A and B are shown apart, each in its own frame.
Chain A
Amino acid sequence: MSSLVFLVPLALLLGAAALGAFLWSLRSGQYEDLDGAAERIFLEEEGDSAGGEVDPGKSPRKAKSS
């Protein structure tokens, strides 16, 4: 019984934290482009800053890896 006093609230707290994390990720738009997120890991640059510098025609990474 005594162990339940902190174990049950702990379990609820963990569940609530997961719920909160889900609601936060939903709100911050992480589910708006699931297909795109899966493909974007193949892109070297991220964001606007590097956007103009990379020549889309060349991909030196590919030559090495395959």
Chain B
Amino acid sequence: MSMAAIADAARPAPAGRASAREEIRLASRDLGQGLRQTDLSVPGVHCAGCIRTVENGLRKLDGVEHARVNLSTRRASVQWRGEEAPDLLSALDTLGFPGHLAETGGDRMDPELGRLIRALAVAGFAAMNIMLLSVSVWSGADEGTRQAFHWISAALAFACLAYSGRVFFLSAWSALRRGRTNMDVPISIGVTLAFALSLFDTATGGRHAYFDAATTLIFFLLIGRTLDHVMREKARVAVRGLARLAPRGATVIEADGRRLHLPVEEIAPGMRILLAAGDRVPVDAVVEEGVSDLDCAIATGESAPRRVAPGAAIQAGTLNLSGPLTIRASARADESFLAEMVRLMEAAEGGRARYRRLADRAAALYSPVVHATAFATFLGWMALGGGLHQSITVAIAVLIITCPCALGLAVPIAQVMAARRLFEAGIMVRDGSAIERMAEIDTVAFDKTGTLTLGRPRLVEDGKTAPGDLEIAAAIAARSGHPLSRAIAAAGKGTQPVLTDVSEHPGLGIEARLGGSLYRLGRAEWALEAGADAQDAGTVLSRDGRLLARFAFEDAPRPRAREAVEALRAAGLGVTVLSGDTPGAVAATAASLGIDDFAPALMPAGKVERLAALAASGHKVLMVGDGINDAPALAAAHVSMAPASAADIGRNAADFVFLRDGLDAVPAAFTLARRTGRIVRQNFALAVAYNAIALPIAIAGWVTPLVAALAMSLSSILVVANALRLRGAGNPARGRRYAPRLSPEPGL
């Protein structure tokens, strides 16, 4: 199902081997008495067999006291004791379930969701019982029974209002205090007045009480609200389950040579840090010793690895690829590149905060009309001599019948259905307003490295390399973790020769012996004999210093990138590329995807400026990006989207996160957002039409509690049924969805 997509997308970040156990310790939570808890994300578990393998395997480790797998969230929580953390990650690797550290406490249920479910349970209990009593009152119970039932209903309704009604009262109050109005204001007024009037009528022995209307209203609205929350929670858990890219700590070399693993926050400028190959740079620093290549794709958007030597300044967030480095921190974590991006993000976050939800805008129009109508009805009945009690009763009946039950459900139900469809397609939505904003866009701005492309180089096979040479190169390259080596290794086919004396030279390349000759794969100036072809840079394969083959690389575009761009164009959207990479690389990618509007070599602030300029000229822009340098732009855009491979900061800033590799997630999300917008408008129209019919009946004073209960339920069901249409047409995954469940699970 969808979780399998998470497994695909959550490629574990290459954490530093030496510091992996220190990272586990830093990420753990102290439970007291020496016991610590670590939460691991294990995307691969899917059946009872997996649970048993993982739990038993982890329990066998030294120091582990307890291990439990949560299959719903694909997490394992491990409690352990001891000075040094058990090597949980490599244990998981050995068990065949690669995992990564999760934010501790991330799978704890959101307190707000618990509150909503409890409120829903109380409202459901009260509404059902009051409805039972009301039915016997409506069918003509004698006066004594009616009185008794009204009093019991009053007690139940009071409990319901006091406990479950709080959700609406608090939200309405906080809106009113800020001089605004939202959907909860008319709901709160309607419910409270209905209860107060019914209580008065019960005390004075009246025939009609609206306790059932007040409680069912709360019950229905809470259903919508709870579903909305469940959906968001699901998306949040899925996004939090992705591997964290930023390091939690770093190995610091003290003045006396001792090595100490410190949390990133405690690293001060001037400290010397040991950076193993595969580690990410924790803070801005200067290289002191060692030569290596840095992958800057996620930090600056440059697709080609950067070679660094002593004296080079390096940015936090870049990935050390080939050799160990000793670096000297030049800034604190909160003054580093990453923190700079956070500041830019906060400054940029203006447009989105100003956005007002559709439902709130509707409420701003709706509640004055309804309340004025109710007041006019009261005045009208008074003028016609209806008496104070009769006039108030009719006016409150108007409020109850127009109480926006359908309106309150119109938006959340449609968005819940949309979020569910997106979840099935591997797209996580942060909240409902993101779907509303997505439907409004007219321009899409893409980042290049890691967004339009996969951020992984691919070998360009020009046919000039002799097949035998390619096999040798692939065999050598397979020994290295460098991205260019991996690309060459991936291109190798057929049988691979057996190499001896393989050694990697950081920042230069790899050499190996085969049949008496020395082969070198790497930088031209290192692999070739001095003076042979000094001006030719690039990656080459050489035998005893003579050129055998030259390799060129390209950044592979994401699957279905071209189709996605074409689909967005066909939908009438403008497409542009905002990249931090070199003009040449950006132009090549843009041309291959048929995009003619692009801006290369942009700094993070430059991207924000571009978006601001677009916004100033009246455009609503969707930003799709993945890097740390994209985070401010993601926050500044009208709505934003990030792939699962994005930097932590970008993933958290984006409204949508797509877990599968294909770029077709972008047009898919846009199309569904448009359809949701249409359904929401239809729901509004239905609710208004219902009011147009019900209002005259209410003003005429014909509304009894029975009529009110029927009318309200009917309008709610209509709105929900309309929203359910989002599930239907055009869902190819629908039939297959439950298929894996039917087949017996392997391993049992």
Contact = CB atoms under 8 A, between A and B. Distances in A.
A33 B48 CA distance: 13
A39 B71 contact: yes
Interface stretch (B121-129, B293-301, B306-314): B121-129
B519 to A, nearest CB: 43
Given A8-B152, A15-B125, A52-B56, A1 B48 contact: no
B125 A33 contact: no
Nearest to B142: A1
Contacts of A54: 52, 56
Interface in B139-163: 142, 144-145, 148-149, 152, 156
Nearest to B149: A8
A13 B59 CA distance: 45
Interface in A20-66: 22-23, 26, 32-36, 39-43, 48, 51-52, 54, 56, 59, 62
Contact of A36 (B71, B128, B129, B144): B71
B372 interface: no
Given A11-B129, A62-B748, A40 B121 contact: no
Given A23-B118, A62-B748, A4 B71 contact: no
A54 to B, nearest CB: 7
A62 B578 CA distance: 58
Contact of A40 (B51, B53, B125): B51
Contacts of A43: 48, 51-52
B734 interface: no
A19 interface: yes
Nearest to B124: A19
B73 interface: yes
Contacts of A16: 125
Q: Which of A34, A40, A51 gathers the greatest number of chain B CB atoms within 10 Å?
A: A51
Contacts of A15: 125, 128-129
Nearest to B59: A51
Number of chain B interface residues as a range: 35 or more
Contact of B66 (A11, A48, A56, A62): A48
A2 B67 CA distance: 58
A13 B70 CA distance: 35
Contact of B70 (A33, A42, A51, A62): A33
Interface string B58-89: 01100001100111110000000000000000
A11 B148 CA distance: 15
B72 A34 contact: yes
B121 A23 contact: yes
A59 B746 CA distance: 13
Contacts of B59: 48, 51-52
B70 A12 contact: no
A33 B71 contact: yes
Nearest to B744: A66
A40 B118 CA distance: 27
Given A15-B129, A39-B47, A56-B56, A1 B70 contact: no
Nearest to B65: A48
Chain B interface mostly = helix
Contacts of B57: 56
Q: Which of B70, B117, B133, B748 gathers the greatest number of chain A CB atoms within 10 Å?
A: B748
B353 interface: no
A15 B52 CA distance: 39
B467 interface: no
A15 B127 CA distance: 11
Nearest to A45: B52
Contacts of A48: 59, 65-66
B350 interface: no
B53 A56 contact: yes
B80 to A, nearest CB: 13
B187 to A, nearest CB: 23
B114 interface: yes
A8 B132 CA distance: 10
A36 B301 CA distance: 41
B55 interface: yes
Given A39-B47, A51-B56, A51-B59, A19 B72 contact: no
A40 B48 contact: yes
A21 to B, nearest CB: 10
A50 B397 CA distance: 64
Nearest to A19: B125
Nearest to A38: B71
Contacts of A19: 121-122, 125
Contacts of A8: 133, 148-149, 152
A32 B56 CA distance: 21
Q: Which of A16, A34, A56 gathers the greatest number of chain B CB atoms within 10 Å?
A: A56
B255 interface: no
B493 to A, nearest CB: 36
Contacts of A52: 56, 59-60
Contacts of A26: 114, 117-118, 121
Given A19-B121, A42-B48, A12 B152 contact: yes
Contacts of B72: 32-36
B383 interface: no
B466 interface: no
Contact of B73 (A33, A41, A51): A33
Given A19-B125, A23-B118, A56-B56, A1 B69 contact: no
Nearest to B747: A59
B710 interface: no
Contacts of B109: 32
A19 B121 CA distance: 7
Contacts of A56: 52-53, 56-57
12 contacts: A1-B142, A11-B132, A18-B125, A23-B121, A26-B117, A36-B69, A39-B71, A42-B48, A42-B748, A43-B48, A52-B56, A62-B748
Given A16-B125, A39-B71, A56-B53, 7 more contacts: A11-B132, A15-B125, A15-B128, A26-B118, A43-B51, A43-B52, A48-B65
Q: Which 7 A-B pairs have the closest CB atoms?
A: A36-B71, A42-B48, A39-B48, A35-B71, A33-B70, A19-B125, A35-B72
Interface of A: 1, 4, 8, 11-12, 15-16, 18-19, 22-23, 26, 32-36, 39-43, 48, 51-52, 54, 56, 59, 62
